[in-house]
Amino acid sequence: MSGSRRCGMPHGDILSFAPLLVMARAEAEEIVGIVKQAVYEVAERNLVAAG
């Protein structure tokens, strides 16, 4: 069972994360950059698969 499922979150095409409440700007920018890249990669794969 996935972690999100155990927490009562719906599953499927949902992106959720819980960053630290206190962090440096650079850390927040790193999180955003990683998530942005991941979303772009998944979107690209889906576009290529769709033709």
| Residues in contact with 20: Cβ distance below 8 Å, sequence separation at least 6, in sequence order | 27
Q: What is the pLDDT of residue 26?
A: 95
Q: What is the DSSP letter of 14?
A: -
Q: What is the pLDDT of residue 21?
A: 84
pTM: 0.61
1-10 average pLDDT score: 54
**pLDDT over threshold 60, residue 31:** yes
pLDDT level of residue 46 (50, 70, 90 thresholds): confident
Q: What is the pLDDT of residue 1?
A: 44
C-alpha torsion angle, residues 47, 1, 35, 21 (rounded to 10): 160
Helices (H), 1-51: 3-6, 25-50
